[in-house]
Structure 1
Amino acid sequence: MKGTGGADSATAATAATAAAAPSQSFNLGLFFFAYYAHAGTFATYASLFFAARGMSAAQIGILMSLIQVMRIFGPNLWGWVADHTRRRVLVLRLTAMGALVSFGGIFLGQSFGHFFAAMVLLNLFTSAQGPLSDAVMLSSLRGDLANFGRVRLWGSAGFVAAVMAAAYGLEWYGVDALPWIAGLMLLFVVLASLRLREAPPAAAGEAAAPLWSVLRQPAVLAFFASTALMVSAHTSLYVFYSLYLEREGYGKPVIGAMWSLGVLAEIVFFYFQGALFRRFGVRRVLMVSFGVALLRFAVVGAGGHSLALLVFAQLLHAFTFAAHHSASVVTMQRWFAGPLQARGQALYMSVAYGVGGTLGGLLMTLCWERAGPDSIFVAAAVLSLAGGVVAALSLRWQDRADQTRLAAVSSS
């Protein structure tokens, strides 16, 4: 009977954790909804606000690029603080409060220099919130892929709901209402962060390797390179998709509907991803996402005249963004679990969206100006193919490292 006591205790602890999971999942979903509602609204309409305040096209381009540039620095700074202190939720709350205070610079700004400083400070804080919340979610759900997707989809839902609601608000009250709308959403982010709880500590004995020793592994370097290539390909959409559709003769209602369709497709994937990962495996889903991206960008570039083809291509967003993002986050747990989790998510954001997004935006701008609108989707297809090749190398090097470790264990 003594031998069953530990098992009963473990079972009770597991049951308690499972019982606590729904409330924490609700809190995380609420945070994702608020965070992506703000991020989507501000990123979508900030250029219109800056133009109304007298900024030139070049100045607007610089100001908007700071969203990507600060993703190179902010996530790594706050990820280090979060992992070093083991207080990820506390750091998440502090960055939310810092972002809300910093947003006052957008209200008061009139000159380019003022807006530049405000955007640097604001995005220093907001760029950390995505990877930190992902780290909290991964720690809380402990590998539950079904709940992972069903929590994360609330971010996509917040994005769609807020962007559509803000469109009506700006139509009624003018673009000068944007700081009030986005600022209110930031307040909701702060309130949502106050509901989060620190995840239970990792099991005893989970020692983390030094960060530098992890980053030196060829498989890790190749993995991050593949994510940067995938995000670089998607800048063809993030930066130029609306303009491309407008040049093809589509009106703003159609353009808005196409964006919403893509986000709805990712919501569907997030909801069902647990079953898909169990059936096909994370690796296979990851590699399929690159192949689908190659198809998607080829269809957009060649089929801009056909609404049916464009609708088909937007539905593929479920794989090129949602599947790739979830598979990448899960894959990183191989190297960045436990004490390295926040820094792993921060590196993913910095390399993929910071470096990859910035360089991809520059490349797509060059292609658009030198070779015409269709060329950016050719470039995106090539980048997707390159990303798939590099991802395959990463998987091969992972297998080789596993074989080497097994051989070393067997020989000892």
Structure 2
Amino acid sequence: MAPSLAPFSLFLFAYYAQVGAFAIYATLFFAARGMSAPQIGVLMSLIQVMRIIGPNLWGWLADHSGQRVRVLRFTTAGALLAFSGMFFAETYVQFIAVMVAFNLFSSAQAPLAEALLLSALRGDASNYGRVRLWGSVGFIVAVLAAGWLLDWLGVNALPSIALFLLVCVAASGLLIVQAPALPHAQAAPGLWSVLRRREVIAFFVSAALMAGVHMSLNAFYSLYLEQAGYSKPVIGAMWALGVVAEVAFFYFQAPLLRRFGAQRVMMCAFAVAAVRFPLIGAAGQLLLVLALAQLLHAATFAAHLSSSVMVMQRWFAGPLQARGQALYMSLAYGIGGTVGGLLMSLCWDSIGPQSVFYLAGALAVGAAASAALSFRWQRAHALA
């Protein structure tokens, strides 16, 4: 890895470590502070809701000002300051205020860092995975370490652990340097002129559906395994297995994408997802099958994300870089994740836990159809 990319690896490691440490255990912390289950649900949903607002706000400011690094550093400082309120909040309304303020800043940091990274890669997004994998490594290291620390210190130590990691995020952001902008032969198109194109709309619909697919894991997988009778160490091991598979794909991403191309890799990810998630729903009592399904996380998450980043470079390079990454975060994980989570909650309550994963498989088929339309229209646009 080029030395200039090392600060991005460090930043993503720290950022996703903080995400893993806080998001995975926040429900336990809020419960210990007297919040009810519905209140905890609202507090956790604010993470997704603010992904709709935060990335677009800060992405617009970063692209409009051209000062992406300064905006990134401002959001790390803002997140650190806002999260400090967690030590003083006592009531439900106070916790809501802290979560809104904190996620307003923190939700923008990954898309801003990735926009800066893609600029540093000088258009060669095939090497994106070698840097992004450190985010996955940070996530799993923090989840395991925080679990051990909370077992030792108690769940009320979570804010202190998360605050330390936020300091690490802010410190690593100081090491990132903005790459000089590449010269463009013609002026960049306006954002709305890009978003109106039918192939772009179809791509974002597909991305939102795929984010909805993965809400079956993010929101319900641990509970599903627990109800199936698996112990917490087994549940943790299953999560770890999926992240290890994800890291492996990111490491070998460049040669795979160069050989097969973004379209084939993405369509393969949809096909695997259409099999993986119904398999989880049907094989709840078969640990070996569940383990094999977790290995498929390499395709359904890592391969889809990597190929999506490459596809977006066709529309959101240069001056639109930060807003493109922000839109992906907002439309896919913000709107897609929120709607997908709500639909799956209804299925869980009215039909049963297995139905969540059957619905995820159906959404994957819908995502594949929308992506196929996008690629078809991209070819038609290129020939026009």
Counterpart Cα distance in 2 of 1:353 and 1:102 = 22
Q: Provide the residue aligned with 1:38 in structure 2.
A: 18
Provide the rounded CA distance (Å) in 1 between the counterparts of 2:380 and 2:126: 30
Match of 1:332 among 300, 309, 312: 312
Amino acid at match of 1:399: R
Aligned residues of 1:214 and 1:335 also touching (Cα < 8 A): yes
The residue number in structure 2 matching 1:359 is: 339
Distance (whole Å) between structure 2 residues aligned to residue 340 and residue 132 of structure 1: 12
Q: Is contact 2:212–2:360 with CA below 8 Å preserved after alignment?
A: yes
The CA distance in 1 between the partners of 2:126 and 2:59, in whole Å, is 25
Deviations, residues 202-242 of structure 1 (Å, cap 9, x unaligned): 22425210111100000000000000000101111110000
Contact 1:80 1:343 in 2 (8 A): yes
| DSSP-derived class of the 2:2 partner | helix
Code of the residue aligned with 1:48 in structure 2: it is L
Q: Does 1:83 align with 2:63?
A: yes
Distance apart, 1:336 and its partner CA: 0.5
Give the corresponding residue for 1:166.
Answer: 146
Q: Indicate yes or no: 2:246 matched with 1:266.
A: yes
1:257 to partner: Cα distance: 0.2
Mark the runs of 5 or more structure 1 residues left unpaired by the alignment.
1-20, 405-412
The reply on whether 1:128 has 2:111 as its aligned counterpart is no
**CA, structure 1 residues 401+265, in 2 after alignment: closer, same or farther (shift >3 Å)?**
same
Please point out which of 264, 275, 299 is paired with 1:319: 299
**Residues 76-135 of structure 1: per-residue CA shift (max 9 Å, x gap):** 000000000111111111000000000111111110000000000000000000111110
Q: Structure 1: how far apart are the matches of 2:269 and 2:193?
A: 29
Rounded Cα–Cα distance in structure 2 between residues aligned with 1:208 and 1:284: 28
**Count of residue pairs the alignment pairs up:** 384
**3-state DSSP of counterpart to 2:44:** helix
- Cα distance in 1 for partners of 2:166, 2:234 equals 29
Question: Match of 2:231?
Answer: 251
**Cα offset, 1:147, TM superposition:** 3.0
Q: Give the Cα separation in 1 of the matches to 2:122 and 2:294.
A: 32
Equivalent-residue separation in structure 2 for 1:100 and 1:145 (angstroms)? 30
- Gapped runs of 5+ residues in structure 2? none
In 2, distance between residues paired with 1:348 and 1:183? 27
Within 1, Cα distance between the matches of 2:108 and 2:260? Answer: 32
Corresponding residue for residue 70 of structure 1? 50
Task: State the match for 1:211 in structure 2.
Answer: 191
Residues 314/206 of structure 1: CA separation in 2 closer, same or farther (3 Å cut): farther
The alignment status of 1:379 with 2:359, answered yes or no, reads: yes
- Residue 394 of structure 1 pairs with residue 366 of structure 2: no
Match of 1:144 in 2: 124
Q: Aligned partners of 1:179 and 1:154: how far apart in 2?
A: 23
Equivalent position of 1:242 in the other structure: 222
Shift of 1:186: 0.1
Choose the corresponding residue for 1:275, options 234, 237, 255: 255
**Counterpart pick for 2:290 among 307, 310, 333:** 310
The TM-score normalised by the length of structure 2 is 0.99
Q: Is the 8 A contact 1:147 1:274 kept in 2?
A: yes
For each residue in 1:294-327, what CA deviation from the matched residue of structure 2 results, as whole angstroms up to 9, or x when unmatched? 1110110111111110011000000100010111
Secondary structure at the residue paired with 2:188? coil
Q: What percentage of residue pairs aligned between the two structures are identical?
A: 60
Code of the residue aligned with 1:119 in structure 2: it is M
The answer to whether the 8 A contact 1:231-1:357 is kept is: yes
Distance 1:382 1:117 in 2: 36
Encode CA deviations 1:134-171: one digit per residue, 9 max, x unaligned: 10110001233453111110000000001100001100
Is the CA contact 1:146–1:272 (under 8 Å) kept in the aligned structure 2?
no
Give the partner amino acid of 2:260: F
Distance (Å, rounded) in 1 between the aligned partners of 2:245 and 2:374 = 28
Structure 1 segments of 4+ aligned residues over 6 angstroms from their partners: none
Q: Which whole-Å CA distance do the structure 2 matches of 1:202 and 1:52 have between them?
A: 51
**Which has the higher Rg, Structure 1 or Structure 2?**
1
- What is the alpha-carbon distance in structure 2 between the residues aligned to residue 275 and residue 204 of structure 1? 28
What's the CA shift string for 1:310-362, capped at 9, x where partnerless?
01100000010001011111100101010001000000000000000100110
Aligned AA for 2:262? V
Give the letter for the 1:270 counterpart: F
Contact 1:146 1:271 in 2 (8 A): no
Counterpart CA distance in 2 for 1:356 and 1:238 is 13
2:202 counterpart of 1:225:
no
